[in-house]
Amino acid sequence: MAEEKKVVKKVAPKKTVTKKSTVSVTLVKSFYGRLPSHRATVTGLGLKRINHTVELVDTPEVRGMINKISYLLKIED
């Protein structure tokens, strides 16, 4: 008789949900006439017009985008 091996799946423990910090970004200068990569960064952050504010999750990727076009933005933690 052949013995069957039992397969045991390991399940990762559930992570506790912590409140993620956010950063509020407001476009205060126009992005017209800027470098194409800077215009794309403004759009990538979700900003559409002057005085438009968005709440973003504070990640290194978002911080890098903010640093790239910081001269166009007002940042609030």
- The share of the chain scoring above pLDDT 90, in percent, equals 73
* Tens-digit pLDDT profile for residues 15-24: 655 678 999 9
Q: Is residue 5 part of a domain?
A: no
CATH at residue 59: 3.30.1390.20
* Average pLDDT value for residue range 24-47: 96
Domain that holds residue 53: 30-76
Q: Please report the pLDDT score of residue 13 as a whole number.
A: 73
| Domains of the chain: total | 1
Q: Is residue 38 part of a domain?
A: yes
Q: Is residue 17 part of a domain?
A: no
Q: Which two tokens stand for residue 15?
A: 């992570």
pTM, to two decimals: 0.72
Residue 39: CB partners within 8 Å, gap ≥ 6?
31, 32
Q: Is residue 60 part of a domain?
A: yes
Per the rule left: phi > 0, alpha: psi between -120 and 50, beta: everything else, 50 is: beta
Other beta carbons within 10 angstroms of residue 38's beta carbon come to 15
Q: Please report the pLDDT score of residue 32 as a whole number.
A: 95
Q: Is residue 6 part of a domain?
A: no
Instruction: Look at 60 and 9; give whichever has higher pLDDT.
Output: 60
